[in-house]
Amino acid sequence: MSHLGYLFQNGRNLTMQKILALSLVTSALILPVSQLTYAADIKVGMSTALSGPAKALGTNVRLGIESYFSKINAQGGVKGNSIKLVALDDGYEPAKAGPNMRTLIDKDKVVSVIGNVGTPTAIVTVPIANEKKVPLVGAFTGAGVLRQSPPDRYIINYRASYAEETAAMVDGLLKKGIKADEIAFFTQNDGYGDAGYNGAIAALKKQGVKHADKLAHGRYTRNTLNIEDGLSTLLDADTEPKAIIMVGAYGPCAKFIKLAKEDFPEALFLNVSFVGSVALKKALGKDSEGVIITQVVPHFESDLPAVKSYRADIKNYQADASFGFASLEGYLAAKIFVEGLQLVKGKFTPENIVNGLESISNNDIGIGTPVSYAIDDHQASHKIWPTIIKNSKFHSLSWDTIRLN
């Protein structure tokens, strides 16, 4: 072959190589996320409140997740693959949570998102998870937007819903002898507050209360401490409340309880789990006595196997941290997530991870009640653990032991 012919032939081969390489890159760019190839690390994302009024919740949920992942990595990972958590701060604001989700999925190439905190943020992140076909697992919210029927394939919950929490409150109060007219509400004016309030109203109507939606209902704006108008609504009610069901964050709820106790000294104050129990108790100080909080995890000082492991792992990997309900929930969500990873067949792709999680059936994870998923059931637990603050400590509560003043 002549020198010119060699250059032509070699140049053509090089050109074909470039075209082939370009076509491969182009193909990768247009593949759905679920079909892309991932690195050896199992990269998991999180968009949460690491600043702002819900900071205590976001940092503690992350703490629990990181502690469990650290233990698994120290044991050799999942099938030899380590788990890497990429956590971004959204400040409990939807306007930040949406871009965070897209960054985690499109730029960081996470195969799943875990432990996001909040309902307002979930309202924007759930559609993105569904659009991108990347699972959102164990979100720290009990809102209905994550609990469709049938369930969204890519939304997988650990915890009981807010509706289940407030329904448990209503049932417990009515059985104790409190009349429906003596129940009032104080809620955050958004999807989070709506979810808990609507659950309570549904429970009241199920008990035969026809005027449930006429009960006093005060509200406040998210990420503010402007609770005065909400309190005024309850002060103007025809019947003085004996029980106030609250669906909010710890800052405004603490301020409300402090002020409301001056006008309703005999009333019971009941909060859902998202309030942030430890932060609420700290913010209330001496006013925390007798405050009730429903939990979606066992007491963090219980002797249940998973809880004992939680305390040991927090000490091992987060030595300066305190125990609490939020970090325990993050820990349990991570534990269930890893259970699903162990059941994955093939590569750790988003689709395979969903399939693995849906394979979990009646697993004993050490919390006293088994957890399960299925194609038509994406909520692992429906259990509520009521607690009450006495002498600045959390105690397990049985509804029939409530003292009415």
pLDDT tens for each residue of 55-66? 999 999 999 999
| Secondary structure element (H or E) that encloses residue 332, with its range | helix 325-342
Which of 213, 215, 283 is closest to 248 using CA atoms? 283
Report the distance separating Cα 137 and Cα 373, nearest Å. Answer: 12
How far from the centroid of its chain's Cα atoms is residue 64's Cα? 12
Report, as ranges of residue numbers, the positions in the chain whose pLDDT lies below 70.
Answer: 1-40, 405
Residue 110: the pLDDT is 98
The answer to whether domain 42-160+301-374 and domain 162-295+386-401 are alike in fold is: yes
pTM of the model: 0.85
Report the distance separating Cα 340 and Cα 354, nearest Å. Answer: 8
| Secondary structure element (H or E) that encloses residue 187, with its range | strand 183-188
Report the distance separating Cα 166 and Cα 192, nearest Å. Answer: 12
Residue 54: the pLDDT is 87
Q: What is the CATH number of domain 42-160+301-374?
A: 3.40.50.2300
Residue 40: the pLDDT is 64
Report the distance separating Cα 138 and Cα 30, nearest Å. Answer: 29
Residue type, 385: W
Residue 22: the pLDDT is 44
Three-state DSSP at 43 gives strand
Residue 344: the pLDDT is 97
Q: Where are the domains of the chain?
A: 42-160+301-374, 162-295+386-401
Report the distance separating Cα 224 and Cα 230, nearest Å. Answer: 12
Q: What is the CATH number of domain 162-295+386-401?
A: 3.40.50.2300
Residue 95: the pLDDT is 97
